[in-house]
Amino acid sequence: MYLFRTNAALLLEAVAAIDKGEKVKVEIDMRDFVKVLQSAQALHRGDFKQVKHERILPYAVWYDMVAEAEEIGGELKRLVNIVDSGQADHIIDVLEHYVTPPDAIATYTTAHKAKGREAQQVILADDYPTNYKKGEWVGISETEENLLYVAVTRSQNRLEINKSVAEVLEKYGIEFIDLVEDGDDVNEKYRAVVRKEIKAQQRLVRDCIEA
């Protein structure tokens, strides 16, 4: 399971995987994101009658959207980059025609949607906020801490951390050990030890995030 903070980052990675022929399951509303992109494109070219999505309607002109994106970053910044880079048409085409295969090997979802769920392997995407601003440690908001906590506690056997978690562990001088539970030939006693160590690592990450 790949866990993202934002829909835009998720879909960029998903489209890249689909382009490579990988079989993925995307657990967000792709149709809504297509409509967001189409409205953003319309704003970019000055076709204001075609700006229909509620997320884009507040901006009178493209410059206003760009200015706010530069200020707040995150998903809005990624939307601006998609349109400015000319990727929007391709992304829209892929998302409009993609059908999830029954034998998908990877799930792309957000931390919000992953609440209450677990997976054997969890990979944290790098679209979570950094703890630094202009080289100084500032941490992240309580809301972001809670979301990051949800993300790091979704794995059963393997967790691949991202930059945000690595920053937290580095601040506290802790080395994260990536533990993998091997195949069926591993005896149950060993598997129990591995599970215990995995949970210990997750608690370690959680405690640092909450500190």
For 32-67, the pLDDT digits (tens) are 999 999 999 999 999 999 999 999 999 999 999 999
Average per-residue pLDDT for the chain = 87
Residue 47's CB: how many other CB atoms inside 10 A?
11
Whether the Cβ atoms of residue 5 and residue 143 lie closer than 8 Å to each other: no
pLDDT one-digit tens code per residue, 140-168 = 888 888 888 889 889 888 888 899 888 88
Rounded to 10 deg, the angle between the 62-72 and 30-45 helix axes is 120
The single-letter code of the amino acid at 149 is: Y
| pLDDT score recorded for residue 196 | 61
- Find where tokens 């399971």 sit: 1
Task: Determine contact, residues 95/11, Cβ cutoff 8 Å.
Answer: yes
- The pair of structure tokens assigned to 170 is 């580095």
Q: Are 99 and 18 in contact (CB under 8 A)?
A: no
Which residues, 6+ apart, have CB-to-CB distance to 80 below 8 Å?
Answer: 40, 65, 66, 69
For the entire predicted model, the pTM comes to: 0.81
Taking alpha carbons only, the member of 82, 78, 48 closest to residue 62 is 48
pLDDT at 50: 96
The span from the CA of 10 to the CA of 1, in Å, is 12
